[in-house]
Chains A and B, each alone.
Chain A
Amino acid sequence: QKELAAFLEKEQTQAKLHSTVHTFTTMCWDKCVTSTPSTRFSRGEESCLMNCVDRFLDSSIFLVNQISQRRDQQ
């Protein structure tokens, strides 16, 4: 039973990860793939997609820090 609980927890974490990847994919697709799809990504599109993920995470971290700063100031 314990094995099942551990397994389910692992699978749930993975499912959450997949869900996040889906959100990022659609968000970054909308930002980066603006022209009609061709036979492969241009270098600009490809780097845009990669940057998109990192920058979003950077933004999240930055915003959280900002929020805690404002909270400390009060």
Chain B
Amino acid sequence: MSDFFKSAVSSPTDANARKEAIMTQVRNELAQANAQQLINNMNERCFKACVTKPGTSLSSSEQTCLARCLDRFMDAFNIVSRTYTARITKERLEDTNLGSSLGQ
């Protein structure tokens, strides 16, 4: 770590390593934010769906419902994600096809 601050002129491998570190950190933070959003949304929806009248503790049927809801919400997320990316890819292909046919 002390080497990090020592050299005024960094070698290509140093710069490369730093670049990789930044990229990894950015990827991790974005993935974490993504997961956080998913979990927050799921919490809200599943509580609403499964716990209609909050009691003094979670009943076992509520727990079963929540567990199922978790799986279903993940499924929904995957379905939506797949459909959306497929649609975007399709639109982009149609755009480029249209562009090439018009001689752009």
Contact = CB atoms under 8 A, between A and B. Distances in A.
Nearest to B77: A25
B23 interface: yes
Contacts of A22: 34, 37-38, 41, 77
B83 A50 contact: yes
Contact of A37 (B23, B34, B50): B50
B76 A25 contact: yes
Contact of A53 (B19, B34, B37, B80): B80
Interface string A1-39: 001100110010011011111101110111011001111
Interface in B20-37: 22-23, 26-27, 30, 33-34, 37
Interface in B21-76: 22-23, 26-27, 30, 33-34, 37-38, 41, 44-46, 49-50, 65, 68-69, 71-73, 75-76
A24 B46 contact: no
B79 interface: yes
20 contacts: A3-B19, A4-B22, A15-B30, A18-B34, A20-B84, A21-B80, A21-B84, A22-B41, A25-B73, A25-B80, A29-B45, A29-B76, A32-B76, A33-B72, A36-B49, A38-B68, A39-B71, A49-B76, A50-B83, A53-B80
Interface of B: 19, 22-23, 26-27, 30, 33-34, 37-38, 41, 44-46, 49-50, 65, 68-69, 71-73, 75-77, 79-81, 83-85, 87-88
Interface of A: 3-4, 7-8, 11, 14-15, 17-22, 24-26, 28-30, 32-33, 36-41, 46, 49-50, 52-54, 57
